[in-house]
Amino acid sequence: MVESPNPKYPILIVDDERSILLAVDTTLRLAGFNNIVTTQDGREVGGILQSGPIELLLLDLTMPHIGGEELLKQVHAERPDVPVVIVTGTTDVKTAVRCIKEGAFDYVIKPVDEEQLLAVVHRAVAFRELERENIALRQHILNDDLESPEAFNDIITRDKKMLSVFKYVESIARTSQPVLITGETGVGKELIANAVHRLSGLTGRFVAVNVAGVDDNVFSDTLFGHVRGAFTGADRSRPGLIEEASGGTLFLDEIGDLSHASQVKLLRLLQEGEYLPLGRDKPRHTDARIVTSTNKDIWGLQGDGKFRKDLGYRLGTHLVDIPLLRDRKDDIPLLVDHFLEEAARALNKKKPTPPKELFPVLESYAFPGNIRELQAMIYDAVSRHTSRMLSLEVVKEHIARGQSLQPTDSPVHPESPRKSITFHETLPTLKEAAQLLVAEAMERAGGNQSVAARMLGISQQALSKRLKKADT
């Protein structure tokens, strides 16, 4: 398998001492950076910069032919986007301050401390990625069209909120930073994760794993693998999913259920790009992109001490929140048509015709299981239908079961719960309030009395009487 370049563009190291070049190059490569260019002659820097983009420049101050400070001025003038880290043997604070004023990103003192060097390099690379992301976001804000709509072909929608999500995904897909996808069960989090991978340009695989209810040992073995003899029964080495995702994307579903011990290991993976297979003494490096998802309130879990704040910040570098189906009601007819065709094909039946009353009924339901629940509902209805027209009763039965499972204080319409009702200074009479409630139910039901009656918890006959009284 061809190793992906890390970072995307080369790190250029300039130092006239060969031993220093070798030491810095080795330190970076052991830390997982494999896209490195070195030179001992400062006069070659201009040609290297003209040959293509550079991620970062590590520059020695004291060199023959052309000094580091002079090179710094040239690079800052010609390529101000390239962070320059000064590597100097002098501890003169005035020199370091002067270099920072002239545009240096940071400086490192010789002999080079490995931890300090890696910290500065990681920070500079993250800074470049943030710059590129900001540029991409600005371009997408100015552009109303998707650049790669085919990446979202698996997602059925015409909702404006979803299209905004697509645009954001396009803008962040090519960065190497983690992505956290949030949303209720059944909204399509894995479909969005797949879209991130397709748009990323990564050549490796998309590897998905659900970590809900997984203890730390299983988590470590599944993700990081083990060597032979690591534990009883480990008669051969086995690579983990992180290795299978090399050069690609590792998708961790239901990350909110991860144990504290596993959270620590995941944090190390995100911060250092390192992991430790069971039974191995030396860490290994990965270039896999990490995408996670959860249907839980990560920030609430942090407040309760159940989820590490530092991990939450790292995972949520890019945050994608998927709208609920009940907030995308215009998508319901599209989804129903798609699922009718899909179910008919799978069940070897002729695609049934939906009754006109179906959509007001569906739009009156809160769909706690979102799109996945709608799919199951349509599949059930298609499997049981015997005539040309889809049975509305099957759908009503499903909705009745779903509503019976909801808490008694749970509103039928979460977007307008009972507690949100407000009154002016003069209260309406009970008769006036009842008329307003009936009018609202009829509007939400699209004029369908049967649907409106179910919303109000009364019979259709009782609603019909109220409507007749209101007209007189």
- 15 in a domain, yes or no? yes
Q: What is the CATH number of the domain that holds 43?
A: 3.40.50.2300
pLDDT at 334 exceeding the cut of 50: yes
Q: Are residues 319 and 196 in the same domain?
A: yes
Q: Which of 49-63, 101-115, 455-469 has the lowest mean pLDDT?
A: 455-469
User: Domain for residue 419, yes or no?
Assistant: no
Q: Does residue 219 carry a pLDDT above 60?
A: yes
Q: Is residue 114 part of a domain?
A: yes
* One domain, residues 157 and 303: yes
Q: Which of 391, 413, 435 is the last residue of a domain?
A: 413
Query: pLDDT at position 418, please?
Result: 42
Q: Are residues 74 and 208 in the same domain?
A: no
Q: Are residues 319 and 335 in the same domain?
A: no
pLDDT single digits (tens) 158-168: 999 999 999 99
Give yes or no: residues 30 and 75 share one domain. yes
pLDDT band for position 242 (50/70/90)? very high
**How confident is the model over 8-44, as pLDDT tens digits?**
899 999 999 999 899 999 999 998 899 999 999 989 9
Are 247 and 387 part of one and the same domain?
A: no
Q: Which two tokens stand for residue 401?
A: 């079961």
**154 plus 286 within the same structural domain:** yes
Cα–Cα distances in Å, from 137 out to 125, 142, 216, 377? 18, 9, 37, 38
| 116 is a domain residue | yes
**Poorest-confidence range of 184-193, 205-214, 222-231?**
222-231
> What's the first-to-final CA gap in the chain, in angstroms?
79
Question: Same domain, yes or no, for 250 and 162?
Answer: yes
Residues 330, 274 share a domain: no
125: CB partners within 8 A, 6+ apart: 7, 55, 56
Is residue 339 over pLDDT 90?
A: yes
In a domain, 5, yes or no: no
Question: Do residue 299 and residue 155 come from a single domain?
Answer: yes
Domain identity same for 403 and 319: no
Supply the pLDDT for residue 443.
77
Domain final residue, candidates 82, 106, 134:
134
Task: Give Cβ neighbours of residue 63 (< 8 Å, ≥ 6 apart).
Answer: 14, 15, 16, 42
Query: Per-residue pLDDT tens for 301-326?
Result: 998 999 999 999 999 989 999 999 99
Residue 212 domain flag: yes
The answer on pLDDT for 438 being more than 60 is yes
pLDDT for residue 448 is more than 80: no
Q: Give residue 405's pLDDT band: very low, low, confident or very high (50, 70, 90).
A: low
**Is 4 inside any structural domain?**
no
- The packing angle between helices 114-142 and 160-172, to 10°, is 140
Asked whether residue 419 carries a pLDDT value surpassing 50, the answer given is no
Mean pLDDT of all residues in 396-420: 59
Percent of residues, the chain, with pLDDT higher than 90: 45
More confident site: 406 or 320: 320
Instruction: Tell whether 120 and 242 lie within a shared domain.
Output: no
Residue range(s) defining the domain that contains residue 281: 145-323
The pLDDT value recorded for residue 410 is 44
Among the three residues 265, 288, 323, which one is the final residue of a domain in this structure?
323
Which has more confidence, 86 or 465?
86
Residue 420 resides in a domain: no
For the cut 50, the answer to whether the pLDDT of residue 130 exceeds it is: yes
CATH of the domain at 168: 3.40.50.300
Kindly indicate the confidence band of residue 50, based on its pLDDT and cuts at 50, 70 and 90: confident
CATH of the domain at 462: 1.10.10.60
Q: How many domains does the chain fold into?
A: 4
For residue 420, what pLDDT band results from cuts at 50, 70 and 90? low
Q: What is the mean pLDDT of residues 167-191?
A: 93
- Mean pLDDT of all residues in the chain? 86
Distance CA 265, CA 273 (A): 11
